[in-house]
Amino acid sequence: MAQYTLETDGQVCPFPLVEAGDAIAKLNFGDQLTINFDCTQATDALPRWAAENGYPVTHFDRVGDAQWTITVQKA
């Protein structure tokens, strides 16, 4: 299992979600993708996208006033 990080700070929605979809498509099953973002709408959109695609969320945390991190596993 490998760990990858996607930095999307400064991008407005839906770009963090689009980039997450592109990034996870390249990963092997079991790999984890950590997405760092500051788009408020993505706090709802990213977990929903993960659930709809069967990707378990292994970590989700607010790391600043307007910054979050979420880790999803390709399953």
> Which of the following is catalytic: 4, 6, 11, 13?
13
Rounded CA separation 38/65 (Å): 9
Based on the residue annotation, tell me whether 13 is a catalytic residue of this protein: yes
The alpha carbon of 65 is separated from its chain's Cα centroid by a whole number of angstroms, namely: 18
Sign of CA dihedral 42, 44, 45, 48: positive
Catalytic residues: 13
